[in-house]
Amino acid sequence: MGTGPDRPLEGRTVALLATDGVERAELLEPRRALEEAGARTLLVAPEPGEIRAFDHLDPAEPVPVDLGLDGARPDEIDALVLPGGVANPDRLRTDRRAVAFVRAFADAGKPLAAICHAPWLLIEAGVARGRTLTSFPSIATDLANTGAVWVDREVCVDGPLVTSRRPDDLPAFCAALIEALRPAAAVPRPGRPPTDLRACRSPGAAGARPR
């Protein structure tokens, strides 16, 4: 089936990597947006079964896992989404398999999107240095210390990397992710293209200090 204007991501497969403690909205809203655009999505977690989502600090419903990390193959997936929450990326960044999974997408130049605290995984995978990124403000110093440029914007696009700050930014985050995956979009080459601050959208000064 070919792509159409309402389903531009038909034929694309996107993984969402998460574990217990994931922020529910940051998992489910990008997933819904991707599927409405025609993509097939896969929830990848350290182990098969299910994970527990949260609404901030309150437990939410369990979410079924599609693939454990040991069965997930980055070469069969077109893009990776890293939802936030605090506990979720904090757990994942101590899992060598999760870090290697993230690094594989960066090395291949595939779209890689992270929101809220999920850029911790970009740091751990060694892909944040030299990039312009946004995140939840509390980890701005972590990103700066690893050599990234932190900006206070609802979405920032630097080559294949798409980042946002918090659940309020989800509409912009989802739109940028879908744009990065459109077949007509230029496919970035592996490596680290020069940062283009013009691609970081919405108000906010480059290099802004976190509030």
- Helix or strand or coil: residue 97? helix
Give burial (CB, 10 Å; 0-12/13-18/19+) of 56.
exposed
Q: Where is pLDDT greater, at 50 or 207?
A: 50
Say if residue 24's pLDDT is above 50: yes
Is this structure's pTM higher than 0.85? yes
Q: Catalytic positions, please? A: 117
So what's the pLDDT on residue 198? 43
pLDDT at residue number 194: 38
Q: Considering only residues 136 and 206, tell me which one the structure prediction assigns the higher pLDDT.
A: 136
Q: Is the pLDDT of residue 210 over 60?
A: no
Strands 149-150 and 22-23, sheet pairing: unpaired
91 pLDDT higher than 70: yes
Residues above pLDDT 90, as percent of the chain: 82
The count of other CB atoms within 10 Å of the CB of residue 150 is: 26
**How confident is the model over 192-210, as a mean pLDDT?**
43
Q: How many residues does the chain have?
A: 211
Residue-level pLDDT at 183: 77
Q: How many Cα atoms occupy the beta-carbon half-sphere of 184 within 13 Å?
A: 5
- Burial grade of 5 (CB within 10 A; 0-12, 13-18, 19 or more): exposed
Under a CB-based contact definition with an 8 Å cutoff, are residues 56 and 23 in contact?
A: yes
Q: Please say if the pLDDT value at position 201 is more than 80.
A: no
**How large is the average pLDDT for residues 108-136?**
98
Q: Kindly indicate the confidence band of residue 4, based on its pLDDT and cuts at 50, 70 and 90.
A: low
Mean pLDDT, the chain, whole residue set: 89
Tens of pLDDT, residues 148-198: 999 999 999 999 999 999 999 999 999 999 999 997 543 443 444 433 444
Structure tokens at 122: 């970009």
Higher pLDDT, 47 or 56: 47
Reported as a pLDDT band with limits 50, 70 and 90, residue 5 is low
Distances, alpha carbon 149 to alpha carbons 81, 191, 211, in Å: 21, 17, 16
